[in-house]
Amino acid sequence: MTITLAIGVERMAKKKAIIRKLNAIEALGSITVIATDKTGTLTANQMRVKKIFVENNVYEITNPPLLTNHPFSKIILNGILCSTATLVTKVDHGKDFDIIGDATEGALLLMAHKVGMIPETVREKWKIIDELPFNPVTKRMTMVTTNGKQKIVLTKGAPESILSISSQILIGNKPTSLSPQHISRIESEFERFARQGLRMIAFSYKENDNSNIEKNQIFLGFVGIADPVREEVLEAVKKTQEAGIKVIMITGDNPLTAEANGIESGIIKEGEDIMTGHQLDDYSDEELMPILAKVKIFARTSPAHKYRLVKLLQKQGEIVAVTGDGVNDVLALKQADVGVAMGITGTDVAKETAHMIITDDNFATLVGAVEEGRNIFNHIKNAIKYLLACNMGEVIYIIAAVIFQLPIVTALQLLYINLVTDGLPAIALAFSPNDSNIMREKPRRVMTILGKHDFKYVFLVGIITAVLAFVSFLPSFIFSQPKIAVTLVFTSIIIIQQFILVDIWLSHRSLLTHFSLLIKPIFVIGFFFPFILHPFIIYHPFFQNAFSVTSLSFWYIISSIFISLLIFIPLELYKKIKFNK
């Protein structure tokens, strides 16, 4: 089992999923709900400003306002100073930049570059004297800056959050009262932005005011930032749905933006329910439980909401995987059955807490890891089933031999069979082909390795093995050749168990249509290893004495192989009836 898990960990690492805790692999194969972030996981995290709303007008980024437009120049200043991101010029890429830090803030710096304001130059002129970092509850951050005589407070965040702390709006170079008409126009426009799937960041400021810095600010406007859904996400979501796994989006973004991205990624259809963080707060846990089954998108949420949702889903009996990247996501990552941290944007604390790290921050990689987890579980199950089936055949034959006084294998012969046919072949099953249809099966709800169908298979194979072993020695037994009879039983059991390996290696696929899957070095070694050793046992005088066997004629060997091959007839019929393969 440990070898199979270790091999699985290596496979997953090659697919950009790093397992930090081995027990996560078993849980991965049983996942029933994936609670995912939106930004950077479902989307490409390649953010660029597409639209600008300022002075009650909408501008495309291809034709932005002039810097002489006073509110827009302050938006640019806000985006540069109220930021922890940095741009680094790409080597040999001319004017292209890499973003160091938050991708949203990086998009604002790129916008500044586009209109001719260099962030590094601006930052040299201003000094930050106070800071309120981004708060996931209030959805905003604030910087207090000065360039000598002038002191300015700059705040940016979610439009509704910025509106809640603004009492005026800047039109031209003159602040005017933020009237209901202004608010209605602003809300109407950011709703239009949100329906296009744009992520919105609003800006406000105030000057030379030492009172509460996040009150009575002047509203400047907002920008719409595009972050396209990853191309592979739609297929990945479809795969989870076929696998019986529910995908829910938990995001801090606007509900309309989340809805647009959710529809594009295939998580929901138009018109399906969406809940906000405020709505979650209005329900008790008992009231919320029956609602959870109907909702797939939770917007404008905080890390506390994510943690609460994970706990409630687990109370419903779900096996939950949750993604996270920030320090505040730690509680949800730890609570989840599989906590998944982001390798690119994730903080060190999130990575240390998580069970698994996705190195490319891609939702499709997580789905691939779930698929690999299911296959690893299958490999472990197949190895156990192989060992049980082989040993069941030995047990049934020995019991029958004792009762009916038939030729019986010795203790040393049994030990040899278990060492040769149970060791390397069982390890080889860790490398067996993955089941391409495994994501069309529903998740395991019962945490048991073998089901009733597996036990039926074990007993069926055990009985067939015992019957074929009996048939193999019958001619020699009739003619009173007991030593040859014992040797034939010993030989036939070894051959039969190698043919059982073939069936389980193919995961009950038909041998006739999947023969090519057997052409794999590790299988070839595991399959032929007992056949290479066996001639030494039955033909070398030393081993003949040690194992109480005798030489077999060519025709006895051929008959033993032929009789052993008969096991494929009932196995193929069983597959046809049970698995339709």
Residues pairing with 203 in the sheet: 156, 221
Indicate which residue of 37, 227, 253, 337 is catalytic. Answer: 37
Q: How many CA atoms lie within 13 A of 367 on its CB side?
A: 25
Residue ranges of alpha helices (H) inside 423-481 are: 424-428, 452-478
Q: How many CA atoms lie within 13 A of 276 on its CB side?
A: 9
d(CA 71, CA 174): 9
Residue 580, classified by CB atoms within 10 Å of its CB into exposed (0-12), middle (13-18) or buried (19+), is exposed
40 close to 47: Cβ distance less than 8 angstroms: no
382 close to 504: Cβ distance less than 8 angstroms: yes
Amino acid at 233: V
d(CA 439, CA 241): 9
Compute the CA torsion angle 473, 479, 484, 489 (nearest 10 deg). 10
Rounded to the nearest 10 degrees, the angle between the axes of helix 233-242 and helix 363-404 is 30
- Which candidate, 195, 300, 298, places its Cα nearest to that of 246? 298
Residues pairing with 153 in the sheet: 144, 206
Residues pairing with 357 in the sheet: 18, 341
Distances (CA, A) of 14 to 17, 22, 437, 438, 476: 7, 16, 21, 20, 54
CA–CA–CA angle 437, 440, 444 (5° rounding): 110
Residues in CB range of 412: below 8 A, 6 or more apart: 546, 547, 548
- Which candidate, 581, 573, 567, 439, places its Cα nearest to that of 509? 581
The values of phi and psi at residue 214, to 5°, are: -105, 40
Question: 208 is written with which tokens?
Answer: 């030379």
Segment 262-268 long-range contacts (CB within 8 Å, at least 24 positions apart):
262/296, 262/297, 264/197, 264/229, 264/234, 265/42, 265/229, 265/233, 265/234, 265/237, 266/233, 266/234, 266/237, 266/238, 266/241, 267/42, 267/237, 267/296, 267/297, 268/296, 268/297
3-class SS at 160?
helix
- Which candidate, 262, 257, 176, 264, places its Cα nearest to that of 220? 176
360 belongs to the catalytic site: no
d(CA 47, CA 111): 11
567 close to 500: Cβ distance less than 8 angstroms: yes
Residues designated catalytic:
37
